[in-house]
Amino acid sequence: MLCAERSRMNQEANIRNISWEDTMPIRHKVLWPDKSIEFCHLEGDSTALHFGYFLNNRLVSVASIYPSANSARLRKFATLPEVQGQGIGTQLLNHILSTINNEDIDQFWCDARESAIEFYKRFGMTPEGNRFYKAEVPYYKMSIKLNR
Helix H, strand E, coil C: the string for 88-123 is HHHHHHHHHHHHHHCCCCCEEEEEEEHHHHHHHHCC
Burial of 25 (0-12, 13-18, 19+ CB in 10 A): middle
3.40.50.2300, 3.40.630.30, 3.40.47.10, 3.40.30.10: which CATH number matches 3-145? 3.40.630.30
Measured in whole angstroms, the distance separating CA 27 from the mean position of its chain's CA atoms is 10
15 CB-near residues (< 8 Å, 6+ apart): 51, 52, 53, 54, 91, 92, 95
CB 16 within 8 A of CB 59: no
Rounded to whole angstroms, the Cα distance separating 147 from 35 reads 38
For CA atoms 68, 74, 75, 76, give the dihedral sign. Answer: positive
Mean pLDDT of 131-146: 92
User: pLDDT tens, 12-26?
Assistant: 669 999 999 999 999
* pTM for the predicted model, two decimal places: 0.85
User: pLDDT tens, 109-135?
Assistant: 999 999 999 999 999 999 999 999 988
Q: Among 142, 86, 133, which residue's Cα sits nearest to residue 112?
A: 142
Burial of 21 (0-12, 13-18, 19+ CB in 10 A): exposed
pLDDT band at 79; cut points 50, 70, 90: very high
User: pLDDT tens, 29-70?
Assistant: 998 899 889 898 889 999 999 999 999 999 999 999 999 888
